[in-house]
Structure 1
Amino acid sequence: MKSLLLNMYKKINYIAAVLLLLTSISVNAQVTTQSPYSRFGLGNVKGALLPQFKAMGGISTGVYKPSGFSNINMQNPATYSGITLTTLDMGLSGAVTTLKDGSKSESSFNGTLSHVAVAFPIVAGKSAISFGLLPFTELGYEYTVNDRLDTNNVNYNYSGEGNLTKAYFGYGQQFGDHFRIGGNIEYIFGNLLESATLDPLNQVAFNSRNIKKNSVGGVGFSYGAQYEIPLGTKKRITLGYSGSSSSSINSQKTFLTTLFKVDSQGEGTPDTVKIDQNSSAKLKLPLMHNFGISIQRDNKWMIGADYRMGKWSKLSLDGLNQGLQDSWGFSGGGQFTPDAGATTGYFKHVDYRMGFQYDKTYIRLNDQDVKQMAVTFGLGLPLALSRNSIYKLNFTTEVGKRGSITNGLIQENYINFHLGFTLNDTWFRRYKFD
């Protein structure tokens, strides 16, 4: 018994160390994306999806348990109730992005640790808790606009970096045989830093730079429900809904204006001409709705679809609307496992996943909606099994584009890679001794 407790404490300390590490990385992270569209709103919204769900086009709202393996689906916290084993999921992401404007293109690569999530069953198959860290938004862009000011040629240089991270704690409960609900308490935090520099292209004139920083920290809420319709002993339809509240969270704003000269030695010492530091503001988040459906045969196949919409037109900072439009999108996808119960043949146990997604984003430029679409695919690779543990490696690729080169816009082509390691283990088991 003593060795059992010692082993349990070691595992808890391990999780705490990982959470602390990822918190530090999230707080100190710089540019993890290169996207001119991230300058709108709060940056590129990452979504609360682990790689195994991204591989199926992002379907998750109506997904309960595609197999007997426990997965953490924080997009719909009602699914926590199906957790039967202690579950740990952590991973990393990378992206190759190519920007095109019709005459030239530019490519970049960025990678980062992506998430860590843990779930514990309270009553196996009936209720469970989950907590973890995952990205919420990412800001990263840098571009120059040539223009004229009075009679002088000038460059306007714009850049932004930073991210918002979401720490969550959630609970899911099943009532009866077919209905379940759940909710997450979420703490959203991080820094968004943007600057605009006026370069007059004249060695006599001074350059000027405006720097804007938002330090965000506040509590939000998300929730979900599912209802299951049995189609026999092994088949079922699952209907799901999830959403997030229109929360107001705190933000500290800092605004700084400086003047400086540029010569052959580089930028000179800046002279601060205006500073407005740590003024309090409220960030109003949008109300989100997700609807999903799936049909499956247990441990064999599953297909599903999601529809989502967000009231991004209501996003505001310090009472000022951010000029966005409401968004909507849909996803479809599924998973197939040849023979989960096979005693021979490794690839019979592999989960094969595919999907697609389409979104009308919250951005509208030059009287044109910016749309995003992608195809997705991935694998769930089982690793060596032990007596009380199951391991799986989830690999996902997303190939897509956002925007177009028409009407003076930029087309963003991307290939995203996601790698997640999932562990199911029997912690906290109570042993009986004769």
Structure 2
Amino acid sequence: MIKKLIVFASILFSIVSWSQENTASPYSYYGLGEIKFKGTEDARSMGGIGIVADSIHFNLLNPASYSKIKFSTFAIGSTSTFSTFETNGNSEKAKRTNLNYLAVGLPIKKFGVSFGLMPYSAVGYKIESNSHNDADNSDRTKISTGNGNINRLFIGSSYAINKKLSFGFNINYNFGVVETEFIETIYAPVELQLRTRERNNSNINGFSFNTGVYYSRNLNQKLKLNSSFVYSPEATLVSENSRNIATIFYNIYGGEIISLPTQDIPVEDQKMKIPAKYTFGSGIGMDKKWFLGAEISFQENSKLRNRFKDISNATFENSTRISLGGYFVPKHDSFSNYFSRVIYRAGFRYENTGLVIRNESINDYGMTFGIGLPVGLSKINLGFEIGKKGTTSQGLVQENYFNLNIGLSLNDLWFRKREIN
């Protein structure tokens, strides 16, 4: 147990140097950024369904599942994303690696307790546009960049009302910093090139809450029905905003020169909404053999707003996500064949993100695959996801991405009373 706590403390300490650039999506420019947490690696490999809960699988998508775990659990997961961004005639590649979650779950008789840290959303983009002014025969370049994220520190509990029904909740503290910069450059036939630079800073924080119900029952001697419901009420985050303006010159021989003193511009703080979300899921299967389920989520994303101002060509609409997925285990108690004990997972998901740009809804599709490698009571979960987000219509960007997900779930009886000392 001491060794596990040392490992946990070391990983938690490393969060201090956690990179903020964990997305490269231009769509992270809007609203709260790109939503990052989509479940543990085993759930993501099944299309993101949060219906499976048992004694060794740590389900962070529904807090009602915490009472199902029977072993003290330490879970950590990360994702490497390989993206290709396409427009009409151009393409760019990007790679990002980020931590998905760091969590601990503890069983206490009919209760289950969990706490941890995860990124809620991320901002990371660089958008460049070019134009020519015939009046003065000058070229203009506009570059927008942004980075940062909103992290989520959570603690939750679950109570098993009986063997079939559990109820749980999470209390979340959301915090983070998002920095954006806008530079417009006028290229004229001189050695000094005029630039205008605007830097914005948003310090975001606030509490949120979600609650869930988990129900399971035997349909017959073999089949079991699992059902899940999670409700996240609307929450308000405070964005403390600041802005700095500067007129700068760029010397093509000596680099950037700030020609005038920078000026701080008063900007109003904003109250930003995390929209209410409802998730329903159900599925059937045989314990330790197979499972197949479906899940649907509705989120009131029409209430989203941008950090500083609304964008003229972008609006928000209510969003929907549909997920299908499941797993198969050839023979969970096989002693002769290790791969017969491996969990094989697959799934599909479709999501209307709620973002509308130039009258085009931004949709996200993904096919998922994965395996769970048993190591005693613990699991090493590997997941693979192939997806597409956005479109090249109306001059927009289409993201084609491949995600490699790796998760570790350590299970043990940390607080077992020893019979012999």
Shorter-normalised TM-score: what interval? over 0.9
Structure 1 residue aligned with 2:413:
426
Structure 2 residue aligned with 1:4:
none
Write the distance in 2 (CA, Å) between the matches of 1:16 and 1:240. 33
Q: Secondary structure at 1:206's aligned position in 2?
A: strand
Give the direction of change, closer, same or farther, for the CA distance of 1:295–1:197 in structure 2 (3 Å limit): same
Post-superposition Cα deviations, 1:14-35, rounded to whole Å, max 9, x if no partner, equal 423322322x134xx2322211
Q: Give 1:279 deviation, angstroms.
A: 5.9
Q: Give 1:185 deviation, angstroms.
A: 0.6
Q: Give 1:166 deviation, angstroms.
A: 1.0
Structure 1 residue aligned with 2:35:
45
Contact preservation (8 Å) 1:55, 1:398: yes
How does 1:388-403 map onto structure 2 within 5 Å?
Answer: 390-403=377-390
Pair 1:358 & 2:350 matched: yes
Give the direction of change, closer, same or farther, for the CA distance of 1:147–1:431 in structure 2 (3 Å limit): same
Write the distance in 2 (CA, Å) between the matches of 1:150 and 1:16. 61
Post-superposition Cα deviations, 1:79-108, rounded to whole Å, max 9, x if no partner, equal 001010001111221010001112121111
Contact preservation (8 Å) 1:37, 1:44: yes
For residue 346 of structure 1, the aligned residue among 338, 350, 353 is 338
Give the direction of change, closer, same or farther, for the CA distance of 1:279–1:405 in structure 2 (3 Å limit): closer
Amino acid of the structure 1 residue aligned with 2:17: I
How does 1:223-242 map onto structure 2 within 5 Å?
Answer: 223-242=211-230
Give the direction of change, closer, same or farther, for the CA distance of 1:374–1:279 in structure 2 (3 Å limit): same
Structure 2 residue aligned with 1:5:
none
Write the distance in 1 (CA, Å) between the matches of 2:310 and 2:156. 30
How does 1:96-111 map onto structure 2 within 5 Å?
Answer: 96-111=82-97
Write the distance in 1 (CA, Å) between the matches of 2:230 and 2:309. 28
Give the direction of change, closer, same or farther, for the CA distance of 1:183–1:149 in structure 2 (3 Å limit): farther
How does 1:356-395 map onto structure 2 within 5 Å?
Answer: 356-383=348-375, 385=376, 390-395=377-382
Post-superposition Cα deviations, 1:258-281, rounded to whole Å, max 9, x if no partner, equal 110011122112634531479643
Structure 1 residue aligned with 2:157:
171
Give the direction of change, closer, same or farther, for the CA distance of 1:176–1:128 in structure 2 (3 Å limit): same
Q: Give 1:64 deviation, angstroms.
A: 2.3
What CA RMSD, in Å, does the superposition of the two structures yield over aligned residues?
2.1
How does 1:73-88 map onto structure 2 within 5 Å?
Answer: 73-88=59-74
Q: Secondary structure at 1:261's aligned position in 2?
A: strand
Q: Secondary structure at 1:30's aligned position in 2?
A: coil
Runs (5+) with no aligned partner, structure 1: 1-7
Post-superposition Cα deviations, 1:205-248, rounded to whole Å, max 9, x if no partner, equal 63111111111122111111122232124421112111222111
Structure 2 residue aligned with 1:217:
205
TM-score with structure 1 setting the length? 0.90
Amino acid of the structure 1 residue aligned with 2:299: G
Contact preservation (8 Å) 2:202, 2:307: no
Identity of aligned residues (%): 30
For residue 264 of structure 2, the aligned residue among 271, 275, 286 is 275
Q: Number of residues paired by the alignment?
A: 413
How does 1:152-163 map onto structure 2 within 5 Å?
Answer: 152-163=138-149
Structure 2 residue aligned with 1:416:
403
Write the distance in 1 (CA, Å) between the matches of 2:218 and 2:261. 67
Runs (5+) with no aligned partner, structure 2: none
Give the direction of change, closer, same or farther, for the CA distance of 1:417–1:210 in structure 2 (3 Å limit): same
Structure 2 residue aligned with 1:329:
321
Amino acid of the structure 2 residue aligned with 1:349: R
Structure 1 residue aligned with 2:231:
243
Provide runs of 4+ in structure 1 moved above 6 Å: 317-322
Pair 1:15 & 2:8 matched: yes
Amino acid of the structure 1 residue aligned with 2:210: S
Contact preservation (8 Å) 1:190, 1:216: yes
Write the distance in 1 (CA, Å) between the matches of 2:81 and 2:393. 24
Contact preservation (8 Å) 2:246, 2:258: no
Contact preservation (8 Å) 2:99, 2:118: no
Give the direction of change, closer, same or farther, for the CA distance of 1:281–1:407 in structure 2 (3 Å limit): closer
Contact preservation (8 Å) 2:201, 2:242: yes
Comparing 266-275 and 340-349, the one that deviates more: 266-275
TM-score with structure 2 setting the length? 0.92
Pair 1:258 & 2:246 matched: yes
Q: Give 1:146 deviation, angstroms.
A: 1.4
